[in-house]
A and B are shown apart, each in its own frame.
Chain A
């Protein structure tokens, strides 16, 4: 369990300060790998949803096709 006060202090300054010196920027920025992973996860989630959507659309189309082709074989009604 983290004590909230120890963390909240630096966080209150988010966005207020900008990295200034060039020497800091030259270093590999902290948490860079995690960020790449995070954006990859966002991309994966979106792609998974697109895939699910297109699969559902295809299924609806397929069912419509079978329904329409049935019509040619059998007359409407029971």
Chain B
């Protein structure tokens, strides 16, 4: 546990020092939001369609940011054999995986913290009371994206590919998360709470998905960083 915190703190400090990663991903997701809002501008004014646009924009921005973020977080370690050094220092691979996933999730959460208000402004959302619940759904999505993103980035950086390779690996795998997240967000925006059984189901799916992938990925991660 202490190892985990140390590693996360180290990664975050590293990211904070340059700030380049956070800034570039933020601008990237900002552009995604802008383009998607622009593309769907004609449907604005229609309540139902508006909700649809906000929900999908939020999640597509998260998906793209997740792909870029995951690659960078792993790539930092690949360079100069840092993973090997960490392993030699006696850090267990599962802890290493969880640390990377946590860092990834914190970065994504930071990005979402900035992107969500922008989306609300661009797409003219009217309710702000739902924000805590929205944060909860997004948290589940972020957990899924970082869990899958980290392990797949370990594969794709190894294969010498970058974001393009990673996106073909994780986006199909994360479609259940995207679908569930978008559905839950839509009902949340429409009803202000998770009242109907449908959205409860989606939340359950997200939770189960996150737990399963975290568990399985932390087991296989060991073999992916072996030199």
* A–B direct contact (CB < 8 Å): no
